[in-house]
Amino acid sequence: MDFPGSLRPTVFMTGPLGLSDVPDMSFMCSWRDALTLPESLPQNSENGVPHVAKGLLWEPETPGPLPLLPPGPDPWHPGLTAQDLLFRGGHPFQKQPRVVLDVTEQLSRFLWDHGDIAFAPLGKLMLENFKLEGARSRSKKKTVVSVKRLLQDLDGHQPWGCPWAYLSYRQRRFSILGGPILGKSVANLLGDLLHEELVTRWEQLLLDDAFTGGALAWVPGKTPRVGQLVYPAGSTLDKLYFQEVSLTPGGNPQVLRDPGHIQLRGPVRQVVTRTVQGESLLAVRSDYHCALWKISRQGRPAPLQVLQVEKGATGISLSPHLPGELAVCSRSGAICLWTPQDGLRRVYKDPDTLVFRDPSPWRWADFTAHPRVLTVGDRTGVKIVDTQGPPGCGLLLFRGGAEASCQKGERVLLTQYLGEGSPESLHSTLHLICTQFSLYLVDERLPLVPMLKWNHGLPSAPLLARLLPPPGPGCPRPLLLGGQDGQLQLLHITGEEASTPRLAGPPQSLPSRNDSLSAFPVLEPKSQWRLQERLKAPTIGLAAAIPPSASTPILSLFQLSAAGDVFHQCLRLQADPGPDSCAPTVSWSPQATACCSQWLKALLEVPPAPPVWAAPTFSHRRLLGCVEQREVEGKVPEGLRAAMAEGRLLQQRDLGSLPTAEPPPAPEPGPDDELSKRLEAAWEGRAAAWWERRQGWSSGPRQQPKRHKRRTQLSSTFSSLSGRLELSDATSPPPSPDPEARPRPPGTPPSQELAQEHWARGVPSERQQTLRDYMAKLPLREDPLEDASAPPSQTSSIRATRSRQRTLQDNTAKPPLQMDTPEGVSVPPSQTSSIWATRSRQRTLQDNTAKPPLQRDTPEGAFVPSSQTSSIQATPSRQQTPVLSGSQRIRKKPRMGF
């Protein structure tokens, strides 16, 4: 091979990145690269030297790429954004906004939504510091807090983050008492993990290197016009599709028959293909696996080998020299060479980075002009390693430092061997190295000194690059560079064997998928937003083919988005447009717009991504949601719903017909009346007075005998129990919750009922349930049935939904005093199960009958015998959905994996 006889003059300085004293060679522009020195004899250069075809331009045929394949059936969600991770508050005194990860918000949201998980273990530990329900405070110790009072103070209806939240002295005492434990331990344990997770997510958002190299490959077929596109699709990118495509002479690709696919066990991150000695091979990298296929002449893939990479694979490359040989890099810093003869062989291992310390575990390996020499790259540099030499030795090919006039903070994002292995290729010793700022071409025969440096200025990480064969004899080779956010650039690389590689003409940008938006019909905002999101999806694959053509060369460009969409664009080479012709503007053809609208139609038929669960912030939302779920016919729920939705006053006539509508009339005025009164009072701003009155009215012990009576009645007439009875019962307490939900304080005699009712009084009903739930988790509980009925993983969710629904029930209509008495306490253990059974049946019935709207009872998963669990598990989930959609967030807030 010939080496360029005279290289471009360059200063060579050793030193760290961003050395300010080096005359920065990147100060040079693209035209600077086009300059040539006249060779020793000046006569040669007398005649102007138009070395560079100034008007070299690949002109796009359409203003943007077009969808090639219909959208996949799976919904796609764009994932986290900066808004989800960063603190959104203003910094009025800072000149520049700073990046602050919002751990607090995520943490408090977690505590709010999953308080049971966060605090239950602590609660167990702090049990003796709480005076639970019913337990008479015998000790006057200051370290014992009455739970009832506390919850009373918290006052149920407290919007999240409400700045006017009232703090009572009890709360203060509690926070002083519990603060050191509650505040710190959860924050300490969780905060660090959460922060770590947020940092990872944020780093991933800034640079997601999983798709480095690209997951779209063009496998040439039998004829040069036919080939296969290989790409992953599906919501998790775990299906590898093989789509046969034929390129028409006009440049438009035609999809031949339906794609075949292979289902894999993990997401596909990189797809590499090479045709070596007539044999087409396909290598695929997933997070922890790599696989190799051989593509037969008919285009059928035949699996060759699967490798498992325990620490996670970061890169895979196929040898351009030897069929079936590949290099795999792992996060541990090991590079392995796999050959059909020798199997897997580790050729390099270094957990540290090459030039300076960088925390990224990203490694990359590629081949060189010598089949037994590899390049090994990380964020700081690239090294040439002889696989046959002693381990660990090698020569730095590229150094992140002053040698290449790197900027401060510059890191290698992609390295690629540009040779194809065939001796015809002119650049068999060239390597492409991309950083976030620049692109370097390095010749492996002259390490450390880039032959070409160009500041690409892409606004996203350039993780994709493809060097294509020259479109015609004497033409420069197109080098495609793709940014993660879809920006594409095309560079014309020229340079015969005996001269240095140069840019022939200024680089050009190609349209991105975003530019195709104008080809789609205008939609209503929600769909438009969805379309935009879809078009904005990160580009994770790039492939191109130059079909042979008689007239002007054509370049077919395919790109794959993270949503699994394959887009196509056709470019035509304008070799030398006249001096006056500026870049012509192209417009959408009717076929193109038709194609787009067809695609769009298919896209809109795909159901939107299932929303990530988000806790409603205000309690009335829960109310609204639950109301909506109930399949109770009637005017009342509708009226209420309408009223709530409109935010208007709920009037008697909205609900008034209810008691009469429900046959037979209840013996006492239904709770709906109570509700309406309360609501009326509330709307009139006299809620507190009403409440006091109500409390005063109901707190007396006068209903106790009745209640006893009713209960006996209840159990005796169980067999004939119907909704009506239930209804009649509803004025006084609804069937009380089960015994096990409420722990029996040790040593509490059964006769403590009264005291327990006392416990119930005054505590805001929402909090009562919370307390009950919380106590349900205490070790005191003996609850064989629940554990048997629901798998442990599901219990909490069941409980969570239940508690929400309970909240609703409790919140609204019940006279606080008459609430759930712990009857279970009085029942001997032997009878418990039968009581449960009855009760659960009651519940079911109760659920099914027409009931006063807001006084719903709920399926209580935890209390139900095993036979019913499944149906109940199903119910909450069904019921939950409308709540979510009802929360009316346009953008579902993805949660941090909780």
Rounded distance between C-alpha atoms, residue 183 and residue 188, angstroms = 8
Rounded distance between C-alpha atoms, residue 472 and residue 469, angstroms = 9
Q: State in angstroms the smallest separation of the CB of 246 from another protein.
A: 26
C-beta of residue 269 within 8 angstroms of C-beta of residue 287 = yes
In whole angstroms, what separates CA 439 from the centre of its chain? 31
Short-list 415, 547, 464, 588, CA closest to 65: 588
Q: Which of residues 228-267 bind another protein (CB under 8 A)?
A: none
Rounded distance between C-alpha atoms, residue 725 and residue 667, angstroms = 10
Q: Which of residues 557-616 bind another protein (CB under 8 A)?
A: 579-580, 582-583
Closer Cβ to another protein, 426 or 819, answer by number: 426
Q: State in angstroms the smallest separation of the CB of 178 from another protein.
A: 33
Provide the token pair at 462.
């350039």
DSSP string for residues in 264-286: -SS-EEEEEEEEETTEEEEEEEE
Closer Cβ to another protein, 342 or 646, answer by number: 342
Q: Which of residues 268-297 bind another protein (CB under 8 A)?
A: 277-279
C-beta of residue 309 within 8 angstroms of C-beta of residue 317 = no
Closer Cβ to another protein, 11 or 165, answer by number: 11
Q: Which stretch binds another protein (CB under 8 A): 87-95, 242-250, 587-595, 880-888?
A: 87-95
Q: State in angstroms the smallest separation of the CB of 452 from another protein.
A: 13
Q: State in angstroms the smallest separation of the CB of 103 from another protein.
A: 14
Of the residues 40, 298, 720, 888, which one makes contact with another protein according to CB under 8 A: 40
* 86 contributes a contact to another protein by CB under 8 A: yes
* 188 contributes a contact to another protein by CB under 8 A: no
What φ, ψ does residue 39 adopt, rounded to 5°? Answer: -65, 160
| Single-letter code of the amino acid located at 64 | G
Rounded distance between C-alpha atoms, residue 410 and residue 451, angstroms = 18
* 2 contributes a contact to another protein by CB under 8 A: yes
N-to-C CA span, the chain: 59
Closer Cβ to another protein, 580 or 633, answer by number: 580
Rounded distance between C-alpha atoms, residue 483 and residue 540, angstroms = 9
* 81 contributes a contact to another protein by CB under 8 A: yes
Q: State in angstroms the smallest separation of the CB of 325 from another protein.
A: 8
Q: Which stretch binds another protein (CB under 8 A): 97-105, 153-161, 168-176, 754-762?
A: 97-105
Q: Which of residues 99-128 bind another protein (CB under 8 A)?
A: 99
* 42 contributes a contact to another protein by CB under 8 A: yes
Angle in degrees, 0-180, between the axes of helices 115-125 and 103-113, rounded to the nearest 10 = 70
Q: Which stretch binds another protein (CB under 8 A): 31-39, 259-267, 624-632, 634-642?
A: 31-39
Of the residues 178, 315, 320, 333, which one makes contact with another protein according to CB under 8 A: 320
Q: State in angstroms the smallest separation of the CB of 510 from another protein.
A: 9
Of the residues 16, 73, 97, 159, which one makes contact with another protein according to CB under 8 A: 97
Q: State in angstroms the smallest separation of the CB of 403 from another protein.
A: 8
* 32 contributes a contact to another protein by CB under 8 A: yes
Q: Which of residues 730-769 bind another protein (CB under 8 A)?
A: none
CB neighbour list of residue 437: distance below 8 Å, 6 or more residues apart: 26, 407, 410, 455, 456, 457
Size of the site for another protein (CB under 8 A): 117
Q: Which stretch binds another protein (CB under 8 A): 49-57, 160-168, 514-522, 888-896?
A: 49-57
Q: Which stretch binds another protein (CB under 8 A): 13-21, 106-114, 246-254, 632-640?
A: 13-21
Cβ neighbours of 594 (radius 10 Å): 12
Closer Cβ to another protein, 452 or 595, answer by number: 452
Closer Cβ to another protein, 81 or 652, answer by number: 81
Rounded distance between C-alpha atoms, residue 423 and residue 497, angstroms = 11
Q: State in angstroms the smallest separation of the CB of 344 from another protein.
A: 15
Q: Which of residues 402-431 bind another protein (CB under 8 A)?
A: 403, 407-411, 419, 421-423, 425, 428-429
Q: Which stretch binds another protein (CB under 8 A): 36-44, 520-528, 554-562, 720-728?
A: 36-44
Q: State in angstroms the smallest separation of the CB of 471 from another protein.
A: 17
Distances (CA, A) of 392 to 129, 192, 311, 379: 62, 37, 20, 18
Closer Cβ to another protein, 188 or 509, answer by number: 509
Q: Which of residues 501-540 bind another protein (CB under 8 A)?
A: 506-509
- 115 burial type by CB count under 10 A (0-12 exposed, 13-18 middle, 19+ buried): middle
3-state secondary structure of 504: coil
Of the residues 106, 489, 549, 842, which one makes contact with another protein according to CB under 8 A: 489
436-475 mask for another protein (x: CB under 8 A)?
Answer: xx-------xxxxx-------xxxxx--------------
Closer Cβ to another protein, 206 or 594, answer by number: 206
Compute the C-alpha angle 119/121/126, nearest 5°: 85
Closer Cβ to another protein, 72 or 421, answer by number: 421
Detail the DSSP E strand segments found in 248-352.
Answer: 253-263, 268-276, 279-286, 289-295, 301-308, 313-318, 326-330, 334-339, 343-349
* 890 contributes a contact to another protein by CB under 8 A: no
Q: State in angstroms the smallest separation of the CB of 577 from another protein.
A: 9
50-79 mask for another protein (x: CB under 8 A)?
Answer: ----xx-x----------------------
In whole angstroms, what separates CA 474 from the centre of its chain? 47
The total number of residues shown for the chain amounts to 898
Q: Which residues pair with 493 in a beta bridge?
A: 477, 503
Closer Cβ to another protein, 174 or 362, answer by number: 362
Q: Which of residues 332-391 bind another protein (CB under 8 A)?
A: 339, 341-342, 358-360, 369-372, 379, 388
Closer Cβ to another protein, 1 or 788, answer by number: 1
Q: Which stretch binds another protein (CB under 8 A): 23-31, 128-136, 298-306, 763-771?
A: 23-31
What's the order of all strands across the beta sheet hosting 326-330? 313-318, 326-330, 334-339, 343-349
HEC secondary structure over 655-672:
HCCHHHHCCCCCCCCCHH
Closer Cβ to another protein, 45 or 870, answer by number: 45
Q: Which residues pair with 268 in a beta bridge?
A: 286
Per-position b or e across 397-419, b if 16+ CB within 10 A of its CB: bbbbbbbbbbbeebbbbbbbbbb
Provide the token pair at 267.
């997401």
Rounded distance between C-alpha atoms, residue 476 and residue 791, angstroms = 65
Q: State in angstroms the smallest separation of the CB of 33 from another protein.
A: 11
Q: Which of residues 630-669 bind another protein (CB under 8 A)?
A: none
Rounded distance between C-alpha atoms, residue 272 and residue 688, angstroms = 71
Q: State in angstroms the smallest separation of the CB of 268 from another protein.
A: 25
Q: State in angstroms the smallest separation of the CB of 55 from another protein.
A: 8
3-state secondary structure of 92: coil
